[in-house]
């Protein structure tokens, strides 16, 4: 993956770190140019007592831990759970990113993700990047099932970066899926499937070899 361009598409802040944070850390370590876009900073979901832009601030800290330069992180302000009404705008944003970045690999939510915003980003992502390599990342709390068609091996240092990045989300500490034991166990489970210590699994939406 040396010097390749990677684009991580997240419906909301923290989705990319949860779904492929270890892979991001590995790819940055190996010299890839990684870009990250979050379509919502979820201002409506910020708990009482925190500033409304807290999740955007946390996103910048988390992606920084993973090694993504601030200039490669983009945010949009689509309100949570309204993506289905804004499909064309989201598609146009994705097409613009494709033209600007020309990524070799794109991470989007999987086609099995039941969250309404995640589903829209998956569907419009498939349209926008239909000529590119696209992997769907998993979110077990949103999936009834998941096709583990691709695995990326992780080392302890990659997983540790993922854990550290997710610690940046102070506003989301109450989420059970941000529990560190779960994050590590999830990576161990996927690693065991491919005789690795740790791994992340993905749905292969499209694989293009150039």
- pLDDT tens for each residue of 56-106: 999 999 999 999 999 999 999 999 999 999 999 999 999 999 999 999 999
Number of domains in the chain: 1
Q: Is residue 2's pLDDT more than 80?
A: no
Domain that holds residue 165: 5-206
Close Cβ partners of 198 (under 8 Å, ≥ 6 residues apart): 22, 153, 154, 155, 156, 158, 159, 184, 187, 188, 190, 191
Residue 3, pLDDT score? 53
How far is C-alpha 200 from the chain's CA centre?
Answer: 12
DSSP for residue 169: -
Residue 209, pLDDT score? 87
> Is residue 150 exposed (0-12), middle (13-18) or buried (19+ Cβ within 10 Å)?
middle
Residue 47, pLDDT score? 93
Are the C-beta atoms of 37 and 10 separated by less than 8 Å?
A: yes
How large is the average pLDDT for residues 131-152?
97
Rounded CA gap, 195 and 174, in Å?
A: 32
Residue 140, pLDDT score? 96
pTM of this prediction?
Answer: 0.97
Residue 210, pLDDT score? 82
Rounded CA gap, 191 and 93, in Å?
A: 34
How large is the average pLDDT for residues 183-203?
98
Close Cβ partners of 139 (under 8 Å, ≥ 6 residues apart): 15, 18, 19, 109, 110, 113, 115, 118, 177
Segment holding 5, helix H or strand E: strand 5-12
Which tens digits make up the pLDDT trace of 18-43? 999 999 999 999 999 999 999 999 99
Are the C-beta atoms of 161 and 48 separated by less than 8 Å?
A: no
Confidence of residue 158 (pLDDT cuts 50, 70, 90): very high
CATH number at residue 124: 3.40.50.10320
Where residue 14 falls (left for φ over 0; alpha for ψ -120 to 50; beta otherwise) is left
Mean pLDDT lowest for which of 1-15, 40-54, 125-139? 1-15
Q: Is residue 9's pLDDT more than 90?
A: yes
């Amino acid at each position: 993956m040396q010097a390749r361009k990677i684009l991580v598409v997240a419906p909301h802040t923290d989705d990319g770190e949860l779904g492929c944070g270890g892979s991001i850390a590995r790819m940055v370590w190996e010299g890839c140019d990684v870009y990250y876009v979050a379509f919502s900073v979820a201002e409506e979901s910020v708990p009482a007592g925190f500033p409304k832009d807290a999740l955007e601030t946390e996103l910048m800290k988390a992606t920084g831990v993973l090694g993504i330069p601030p200039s490669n992180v983009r945010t949009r302000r689509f309100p949570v759970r309204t993506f289905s009404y804004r499909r064309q705008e989201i598609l146009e944003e994705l097409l613009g990113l494709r033209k600007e970045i020309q990524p070799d690999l794109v991470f989007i939510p999987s086609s099995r993700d039941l969250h309404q915003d995640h589903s829209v980003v998956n569907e419009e992502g498939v349209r926008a990047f239909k000529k590119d390599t696209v992997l769907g990342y998993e979110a077990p709390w949103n999936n009834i099932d998941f096709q583990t068609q691709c695995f990326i091996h992780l080392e302890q240092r990659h997983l540790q970066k993922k854990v550290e990045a997710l610690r940046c989300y102070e506003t989301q500490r109450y989420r059970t899926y941000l529990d560190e034991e779960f994050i590590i166990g999830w990576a161990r489970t996927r690693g065991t499937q491919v005789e690795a210590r740790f791994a992340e699994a993905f749905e292969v939406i499209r694989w293009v070899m150039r």
